[in-house]
Amino acid sequence: MNSRVYILDVGLTRVGDHWKSSIQELAYESAKGLLHRNSRSIPFDGLVVANALSEISSSQQNLGPLIADALQLDNVEAIEVEAAGASGAAAVHVASKMLSSEHWKKCLVIGVEKMRDLEPSKITLAQALSEQAEYTHFFGMSLASLNALLARLYMSEYGTTRDQLSSFPVIAHKNSSTCEHAQFRKKFSRDDVSRSEIVSDPLRVLDCAPVGDGSAAIILASGEEMDAQQRRNSVEIVTSESASGRVNFFERDDMLEFMSTKKAADRAFLKTGLSIDDIDIFEIHDAYSVGAALICEALGLSKRGEACKDAVSGKFDLNGQFPISTFGGMKGRGYPVGAAGVYQFCEAFMQLKEKAGFNQVPNARRALIQTMSGIDSSCFIHILSTQHKG
């Protein structure tokens, strides 16, 4: 039997510098409030921890039981999930399957990452681990340089200008400027982005997601254990889908199509009977400006080669046709790699429960969350809804 899965509550820390906190302490910080608020409800069966880089950044493995111990969650199944930048969404995917199958009744998902303790050279190495090491390490290629190659190809193929490419970071930072948990609360113009320091031509500093520490947590429960009032106060995970493809984008038949994202989204829409026009907000994996453009095109928000022009037109603004990255996304809110996907769920929950403050999208009832590893080597698509049935 497949039970419906609901998000009951969320908690998060601000993304940024957490020098004084260990990785366990940071995870505790994000979860302590929602555990206190939900202490008298259904007991927890499981804990799923999302992390990508703790072995490098904190010299620590075995985060599942370590964080369960820190939170005093006794006798739970504690699992750690790693899927590079998609770790947070992969953790929710695993947890939702456990709940849907009724193996668990209630669980906690925590994404946590400590990155600011690393030297810049180690950060570059760590970020490149999502790509195939025999290419990235041997040739000295970073994830930024690979995205730069992709951006150069995109601009050449579609005639996209540097100014147009800058439109996605502008959207992200406009939204993060009013987000309390964002790493950067500052607006930038397209000219600011285009003139910022070069990282790997044509990409500039403001095209690339920043390095930050952070932790986010959500409580999930099986609908079989909830009454009608609890369901009304929650947000349903309508579907959780995933797909994967070739890791090296330069070996793909079409280098400018994010097929993992497209396949996972197609499965989600087929399974739910929904279409793109039924979705009110889109939280996307906009770690690089070119990636944001290709994601929007893979999801069907834009025609091929038109995403940057659509971004300039206001199509993806909070008051636009398809609002994206409503709290700033990876680019503005910050990108604590293994935790980033869980932040997306917290933000979608806040939107759908009308708790988004200055970032609120009016009448938001359904959200699509797109999270990927590497350059779309894998993708997880989740659709959330407050349009509950029964």
Which domains can be identified in the chain, with CATH numbers? Answer: 5-118+211-232 (3.40.47.10)
Of 225, 228, 230, 297, the C-alpha closest to 261 is: 297
Condensed to tens digits (0 to 9), the pLDDT of residues 322-340 reads: 999 999 999 999 999 999 9
349 pLDDT band (50/70/90 cuts)?
very high
Q: What is the mean pLDDT of residues 36-65?
A: 89
**In whole angstroms, what is the distance from residue 354 CA to residue 294 CA?**
29
CB 381 within 8 A of CB 267: yes
CB 299 within 8 A of CB 261: yes
CA angle in degrees (0–180, nearest 5) for 192-313-268: 105
Phi, then psi, of 71 in degrees rounded to 5: -90, 0
Phi, then psi, of 15 in degrees rounded to 5: -80, 135
**Residue 300 parent element (H or E):** none
Q: What is the mean pLDDT of residues 237-247?
A: 96
pLDDT of 239 higher than 70: yes
Condensed to tens digits (0 to 9), the pLDDT of residues 201-218 reads: 999 999 999 989 999 999
Helices marked H in 273-390 — which ranges? 289-299, 307-313, 329-332, 337-352
From the number of C-beta atoms within 10 Å of its C-beta (0-12, 13-18, 19+), residue 116 rates as: middle
